[in-house]
Every structure is written in C-alpha cells, then in structure tokens.
Structure 1
Amino acid sequence: MDKFYHSVRLDADLCKGCINCIKRCPTQAIRVRGGKAQINSKFCIDCGECIRVCSYHAKKATYDKLEVMKQFKYTVALPAPALYSQFNNLDDVNIVLNALLMMGFDDVFEVSAAAELVSEATRTYLTTHEEQLPLISTACPSVVRLIRVRFPNLIPHLLPLKPPVEVAAIMAAQKAMERTGFAREDIGICFISPCPSKVTYAKAPLGTEKSEIDCVLAIKDVYPQLLSHMKAVGDEGLELSTSGKIGISWGRSGGEAGGLFTENYLAADGIENVIRVLEDLEDQKFSHLKFVELNACNGGCVGGVLTVENPYVAEVKLKRLRKYMPVARSHMENEEHAETIVPWTVGVQYEPVFNLGENIMESFARLNQAERLCEKFPGLDCGSCGAPTCKALAEDIVRGQASENDCVYYLRENLHRLSEEVAILADDLHAGNTGGQETLRIMKEYIQRIYSEMSRLDNKDDNQEDSV
C-alpha cells in the first residue's frame, strides 16, 4: 500500500504555468518549473483546492467511472449525506435512494446511518477518554493528513474511530454477503463521494490495513442520471432511509459536532480556517473544548469539488431537508454495531515530509542557510519564481531543487552587476591597465553570462505575464 497515493493529478497538457494554484495550496505542494506546474506528492493532502482555483482545468480528481459497476455481480451504493443537498425541493431522501436502485444498484446503504452510529460511539469515547481532550474529528482525510505532516503534536488528539464511510462499507458488505451468498470479491461497495479526499482514503485508509470500499464515484457523475430516475419514483417507492437529523447533518459544517450533544465544541470549514484553528490548538489557545470538527472544504462536505451545487445553497437545502426528520434512526443496539466501530487497528504516524535534512543537525544547518538566502530576496512572495513564497524558494534551493536566479528580482540585480563589471573591464582595456588578450577573454565570458541571464530573465517575464 502506497501511503502517498493521491487522487489529485495534473494534466500537463492543459497547464499554462500560471501561479494561481501555488498561491492557494495550503501545504505549498505545487511549484511551476519550466512553464508547467508540478505537484510534490509528499506535501499534497488531496484537499482539492488546486482543482477549485485552476482556470484551465489542469488539476483533476481521479475517481471511478460509472462503468465500474459492471465488474461486480452485486453492487451497493453508499450515498454521502452531501448527495441529498444537490437537489431542489427534495423533501424525502427515499426518492434519491429509490432512484439509485433504478439506476442499476442492487442495494443502498446510507453513510448517514453509519454516521449516527459513529456519533453515538464518539459520545461514549468523550466520556471515557478525558485525557485526550479536545478530540479532533477524523472524518475528513485531508485534515488528518495535514495533521500528520504539519502538526505532529496534535496526533494524540485524533479521534481513533473509523469514519462513517468505512463503517457503512463494512456493514453493507456483510449485509450483501448474507443476503446473496456471493463471495466478497463479487460484491462492489460503491461510495458516492463529494470530494477526491475520500478517493485517497479508499486507496490508502487510515487506522486500518484495507478499506472495504471497492470503488468511489463522483456526485457530479451520478447527479444527472439520478435526476431522470427521481422523476419516475412514484408513491410505490420503497422506504429505504435509516437515518435522521444527526446523520444527514454530517454533510455540512458543524453537523458532526452537533450530534455529540455538547456545547464545548469548535467547528471550522475551509482549509485556510482549518490551518488557523490547528495552529491555535497547537499553541493551546483554547480551553474547555471537548471536540473539534474540521472540514477542508467550505461549508463542509457539501463544498467538495466533486459536487454540483453551490456549497452555501446546498447547506440550506440540507437544513430544510432535515427539518421534519427524527433525531436519529440508527443506534448501537447490538454487539455487531459495537464491533464495527472499533478503534483504529493501525496507529497514525507523523510524516516529517517538510524536514530540510535527514537529522536534526542537518535540518538546523539547512534552516540557517535558507534564512540567509531569504535575506537576499525581496520578500514580496510574488510567486514569479515558481514557488509560493520567498521562504519556500529558499527551502527549495537548500534541497537542491531550485537556484537563486529563479528569483526575478535577484536575477535583475545579478544582471546589472555583470554589466557594471564589463564596463569596468572595458575602461581598463581602453586605458591599457591590463593585458589585452586576457581582458578580452574575461569580457567575452562576462558577455556570455549576461546573455544567459537575459535569456533566463525573458523566460521569467513571460511566465509572469502569463500568470497575470
């Protein structure tokens, strides 16, 4: 299993070399080199922010197409709560669930139902593990990945329970095997996802060796097909929903925390806000908090890049839909449910991908070198060098991945200095102060360097104009 599997990919043919993505990436995982963006897989957390801001659609999410359903004898759809928020005037989720069956799935299992079980398990965990407070939600894989690479001191506060999507997959697979008698490999558990982050989780899950999710479909692919089938669902549609307000609310920011029946919580959405909260948590600026819910996407899962509706409109739709629902329909009534939501079997480890060296001494030495380099740069963080900030460029240089002349302003100063030195040599030659042949050789070398630097400067200016 590749711990650096990524669902966010770059289409270099579509990339124009602009700097929109490098300025918005929360972990500074993107660089522009040679007129094309490059994604550092170790830094990337698959939040999808680059997909959201790329005007040229060069950043793409990798997920399964609908044809994957044909690979299995029996398929089960796992609709995310965010799916319900994509439709206008929806007052009954059973319409969507019946439409999924009409679309070709053999069964459905709501992730929102599993979410209610996880909420119940979390309430119990909060009361029995007060030493870990505040607990941080692990429902968003991008947030967990961010903590693993940037906030190692917060790892002990991660809630070590399987996320609702995994719980739903486990229960759906077991139900399907009991109902059909098919072997597990003949059954396809298909999660309908609002974001690429869940694709990454399915391929490289946290807290367990292997996910029970067999394929991940995008809401934006399922949505148009569902619309036509939803119109055909009549009064004879089956009663399939097994979730209430708590489960449905997981689709928006604050929904998970709201199901814990405590006022001592914090809920933040949007990756920039998430980072700010994590920094404050690391600095111990909060007191009396029991739970912290963090979602990388604006508005929560309804803001994922694989959805079709505006996240804030979707959030309102979700609130309206849950208005007349019972509080919860799924409960941990037996040992089977308790065994499904067991704590992680595999611990989460710190991934020091941002370290500048192999050990502490080397890291400190390179950090000092990077700080000295930063003093040479203008501190404008313009992005013209292909790195998001002057500090990031300095770190790239000490890693051997860039040079000082990648900075346009440093390059211009270097060019002026070379021109002045050539002028001095020319004056010396005219005055006869140095040997003629030696001076001509030196001048030739300087002129060649000037042309070389001018060529680099022209390329930088072109890239800068493209970005504008």
Structure 2
Amino acid sequence: MDKFFHSVSLIEELCSGCINCIKRCPTQAIRVRHGKACITKEFCIDCGECVRTCQNHAKVINRDFIKCLNDFEYTVALPAPSLYSQFNNITDINAILTAILMLGFDDVYEVAASAEVVTEATKDYVNTHREQWPLVSTACPSVVRLIRVRFPNLIDHLLPLHPPVEIAAAAARKKAIEKTGLPSEKIGIIFISPCSSKVAYIKEPLGMEKSSIDRAIGITDIYPLILAHLQEASQSPLNLATAGRIGIGWGRSSGEALALETDEYLSADGIENVLQVLEDLEDEKLSGLRFIELDACNGGCVGGILTVENPFIAKTKLKKIKESLPERHTEEHKHMSYEELFWNVDVVYEPVFQLSGNFIESVALMNQVNTIYEKFPKLDCGICGAPTCKALAEDIVKGNATENQCIHILKQQIHEISKDATAFANDTTLNAANTPDYVTKLKKYINQIATLDNDLNREK
C-alpha cells in the first residue's frame, strides 16, 4: 500500500498556473512550477481545499462510481449522515435508503448508527483518561493527518477510536457474510462519501492496517441517481433506518461533541479554524476542556467537497430531520468488542517537513533558510510559486528553487544592472568602442541579462 496515497490529483492541461491553491493549502503542499501546480504527496492531507479553490477545475478527486457495484456479488451501501441533508422536504430517511437499494445495492447500513456506538465509547474513554484531556476527535481523517505531520506534540491527545464509517463497514461486512454465506472478497462495502478525506482514508487508513471499506462513491455523483428514484421510494419506503438523533447529528459541526452531554468541549470547523485551535492547544492556551471536535470542512461533513447542497442550508435540513427522531435508535453494536472499536496500530509522527534526518544537519540547513529568508521582502505574495517567502527559502535550500524566482529580488538585480550599465555608458574614459575594457564590460552585462532572462523563461 502506498504510504502517501491521495485522492486529490491534478489535470495539468486545465491548470492555468494561478496561485489560488497554494494560498489555501493548510500544509503548504502545493507549488506552481513551470506554469503548473504540483502537489508534494507527503505534505498533502486530502482536505480538498485546493479542489474547492480551483476555478479551472484542474484539481480532481479520484473516487469510484456506481459501476463499481459490478465488481462484487453482493454490495452494501454505507450512507454518511450528511447525505440526508442534500434533499428537500425529507421527513422519512427510509425513503432515501429505499432509493439507494433501487440503484442496485443489496443492502444498506447507516454510518449514523455506528456514530451512536462511537459516542458511547467516546464517553467512557474521555471519563477514564483524564491525563489526556482534552481529547481530540479522530472522526475527520484530514485532521488526524494534519496533527501527524504538523503537530506531533498533540498525537497523545488523539482519541484512539475508529471513525463511525469504519465501525459501520466492519459490522456491515459481518452481517453480509452471515446473511449470504459468501466469502469476504465477494462482498463490496461501498461508502457514500461527502469528502476527499474519507476517500483517501480507504487506501491509507489511520489506526489500522487495512480498512473494511472497499469503495467510495461521492455524494455529488450518486445524488442525481437517488433523486430519480426518490418519489417512487417515498410512496412505499422500506423500514431500513436504524439511527437516532445522536447519530444523524454527526453530519454537521458540533454534532459529535454535543452528543457527549458535557459543556467542557470545543468545536471548530473549517481548516483555518482547525489550524488556529491546534496551534492554541499546542501553546497550552486552552484549558478546562475534556473534548475537542474538529472538522476540516466548513459546517462539518455537510460542507464536504463532494456534497451538493449549500452547507448552511444542509445544517438546517439535518436539524429538522433530527427533530423527528428518537435520541437513540440502534442497539445493533452493543456486542462489539473493545478491539473492534479502538485503534490497533498507533498513529505516529511523520517528519515530512524536516530538512534532514540528522538533527545537526537540520539545524545547519535551517540557518541557511533563515539567511536566505532575510533577503526576501516577506510579503508572502506567492508570485514565486511558493505560498510564503519562508517556503521559498526552504525550497532553495532543498535545491528545488532559486532566489531569482522572487520577483522582488529579480527587480533589484535588474535595477542594479541598469544602474551599472548607465554608469558604463557615461564613462568618458572608454572613448573607443573596441578597447578591451569596453568589450569585457559589455559581455558582462549581456551575460547578466541572459541569466535573468533564462530564470524568467524557466518559470513560465
């Protein structure tokens, strides 16, 4: 398995070389080189911000489509709670679940039902592990990946529980095997995903070696297919829903934290807000908290890049759906063991931002970075193709860029050459065009101009 598998990729021919994506990436994983964006795989956390920002649709999410049902003899759909908020005038979740079966799935298993189980396990863990307070939710894979690469001191605060989708997948597979007698490899567990983060999670799971999920279809792709069957499904819906108010609430921001029934929590959504919270937590500015819920997408999962509804409207829709449900509905997972709910592989620090694996060498290289950085204007304009002046300085030390990529450095050099050339032209001592000094200086200016021209052309 690729250690750094990612769901987000670039279509080069659609990329215009603008700098919108490099300014939004929370881990500075993107550079614009030779007029095209490029993604550093080990930095990427699959938050999907670059996809959301790209006006040319040059960033895409590599997910599966409905035809993947043909890869298995028996298929089970795992609808995310946020799916329910994408449709208008829904009073009965069973209509949506029935419409999913009409698409060719053999069964459906609600992720929201497993969210209720994770809620109970979280309550127990938080109450018995005071030494780790505040515990940080691990339901959003992008947040976990962000902590893994940028905030190693916070790894001990991570809640070592599998996300609800993983719990649901394991339970759905077990149920399907018992029902059909088929071997596991002939059963397809297919997640209906709101985001790129969970698509990447399937290939590179966190806290375990291999995910129980086989495929991921985006909500944006399956939405029109469900909509086409929704009216018919609403007329005679099957009784399929098993989740209650708590599980459905996980689809929007604060839903997970509110389910814990404590006031000692913090909830933040949107990657910039998540970064602020993690920085404050690392600086020990947050106290008196038991639990922190962080969602990379604005509004929580309803704001995922693979959803279709406005996240603010979707939050309201989900709230209305919740009001018609009991607080807890499912009892299916009460038999699940501790080992099935908790991580069996530690999430460890990935030092992808280190300049060297050797500490002494890293310090020396960082000194070089700081020296180069002091030459720059510190405007963080992004014209060089790097998101900040500091990032460009690091790229130079790594051998991936040159100082002349900074337009301000380039302008200064042009100014100095122009000044020297003017003085040269006014030098009355060189009154003969064919003197050796004249020729030498003329070649010098020609070479300097040619060098700058090459630097400019290399970046175009």
Q: Are 1:196 and 1:305, in contact at CA under 8 Å, matched by a contact in 2?
A: yes
Query: What corresponds to 2:396 in structure 1?
Result: 397
Q: Are 1:81 and 1:248, in contact at CA under 8 Å, matched by a contact in 2?
A: yes
Q: CA deviation at 1:371?
A: 1.5
Aligned pairs for 1:75-154 within 5 A:
75-154=75-154
Query: What corresponds to 1:379 in structure 2?
Result: 378
Alpha carbons of structure 1 residues 349 and 3: separation in structure 2 relative to 1, 3 Å: same
Aligned pairs for 1:241-280 within 5 A:
241-280=241-280
Q: Are 2:193 and 2:219, in contact at CA under 8 Å, matched by a contact in 1?
A: yes
Distance (whole Å) between structure 2 residues aligned to residue 388 and residue 51 of structure 1:
17
Q: Are 2:114 and 2:333, in contact at CA under 8 Å, matched by a contact in 1?
A: no
AA matched with 2:236: E
Alpha carbons of structure 1 residues 419 and 333: separation in structure 2 relative to 1, 3 Å: closer
Q: Are 1:120 and 1:332, in contact at CA under 8 Å, matched by a contact in 2?
A: no
Q: CA deviation at 1:357?
A: 2.1
Q: Are 1:120 and 1:331, in contact at CA under 8 Å, matched by a contact in 2?
A: no
Q: CA deviation at 1:448?
A: 2.7
Query: What corresponds to 1:215 in structure 2?
Result: 215
Alpha carbons of structure 1 residues 427 and 245: separation in structure 2 relative to 1, 3 Å: same
Q: Deviations over 1:296-319 (max 9, x none)?
A: 000000001101001111011000
Distance (whole Å) between structure 2 residues aligned to residue 341 and residue 353 of structure 1:
30
AA matched with 1:411: L
Query: What corresponds to 1:176 in structure 2?
Result: 176
| TM-score, normalised relative to structure 1 | 0.95
Alpha carbons of structure 1 residues 72 and 429: separation in structure 2 relative to 1, 3 Å: farther
Q: Are 2:433 and 2:439, in contact at CA under 8 Å, matched by a contact in 1?
A: no
Q: Deviations over 1:221-264 (max 9, x none)?
A: 11001011111114432111110111000000000111111110
Query: What corresponds to 1:445 in structure 2?
Result: 444
- Secondary structure, counterpart of 1:208 in structure 2: coil
Q: Are 1:270 and 1:298, in contact at CA under 8 Å, matched by a contact in 2?
A: yes
Q: CA deviation at 1:332?
A: 6.9
Q: Deviations over 1:347-371 (max 9, x none)?
A: 0110111112222222222222111
Aligned-residue sequence identity (percent) comes to 57
Query: What corresponds to 2:31 in structure 1?
Result: 31
Query: What corresponds to 1:303 in structure 2?
Result: 303
Alpha carbons of structure 1 residues 333 and 58: separation in structure 2 relative to 1, 3 Å: closer
- Secondary structure, counterpart of 2:131 in structure 1: helix
What is the Cα-based RMSD across aligned positions, in Å?
A: 1.9
Q: Deviations over 1:115-163 (max 9, x none)?
A: 0000011111111111111110000000000000000000001000111
Query: What corresponds to 1:16 in structure 2?
Result: 16
AA matched with 1:65: F
Query: What corresponds to 2:63 in structure 1?
Result: 63
- Secondary structure, counterpart of 2:274 in structure 1: helix
Distance (whole Å) between structure 2 residues aligned to residue 2 and residue 29 of structure 1:
18
Gap regions ≥5 residues in structure 2: none
Distance (whole Å) between structure 1 residues aligned to residue 419 and residue 446 of structure 2:
11
Q: CA deviation at 1:451?
A: 3.5
AA matched with 1:300: G
Q: Are 2:118 and 2:341, in contact at CA under 8 Å, matched by a contact in 1?
A: no
Q: Are 1:82 and 1:302, in contact at CA under 8 Å, matched by a contact in 2?
A: yes
Q: Are 1:269 and 1:298, in contact at CA under 8 Å, matched by a contact in 2?
A: yes
Query: What corresponds to 1:286 in structure 2?
Result: 286
Q: Are 1:422 and 1:447, in contact at CA under 8 Å, matched by a contact in 2?
A: no
Query: What corresponds to 1:354 in structure 2?
Result: 353
AA matched with 1:407: C
Distance (whole Å) between structure 1 residues aligned to residue 12 and residue 333 of structure 2:
52
| TM-score, normalised relative to structure 2 | 0.96
Gap regions ≥5 residues in structure 1: 464-468
**Does 283-292 or 77-86 show the bigger shift?**
283-292
Distance (whole Å) between structure 2 residues aligned to residue 240 and residue 292 of structure 1:
32
AA matched with 1:24: R
**Does 158-167 or 323-332 show the bigger shift?**
323-332
Distance (whole Å) between structure 2 residues aligned to residue 19 and residue 409 of structure 1:
17
Query: What corresponds to 1:418 in structure 2?
Result: 417
Distance (whole Å) between structure 2 residues aligned to residue 197 and residue 234 of structure 1:
31
Q: CA deviation at 1:342?
A: 3.0
Distance (whole Å) between structure 1 residues aligned to residue 310 and residue 155 of structure 2:
32
Distance (whole Å) between structure 1 residues aligned to residue 339 and residue 246 of structure 2:
19
Q: Are 2:167 and 2:341, in contact at CA under 8 Å, matched by a contact in 1?
A: no
**Does 174-183 or 124-133 show the bigger shift?**
124-133
Distance (whole Å) between structure 1 residues aligned to residue 292 and residue 331 of structure 2:
23
AA matched with 2:304: G
AA matched with 2:67: E
Number of residues of Structure 1 aligned to a counterpart in Structure 2: 460
**Does 258-267 or 77-86 show the bigger shift?**
258-267
Query: What corresponds to 1:406 in structure 2?
Result: 405
Distance (whole Å) between structure 1 residues aligned to residue 86 and residue 14 of structure 2:
29
Query: What corresponds to 1:466 in structure 2?
Result: none
Distance (whole Å) between structure 1 residues aligned to residue 361 and residue 253 of structure 2:
42
Q: Are 2:83 and 2:194, in contact at CA under 8 Å, matched by a contact in 1?
A: yes
- Secondary structure, counterpart of 1:378 in structure 2: coil
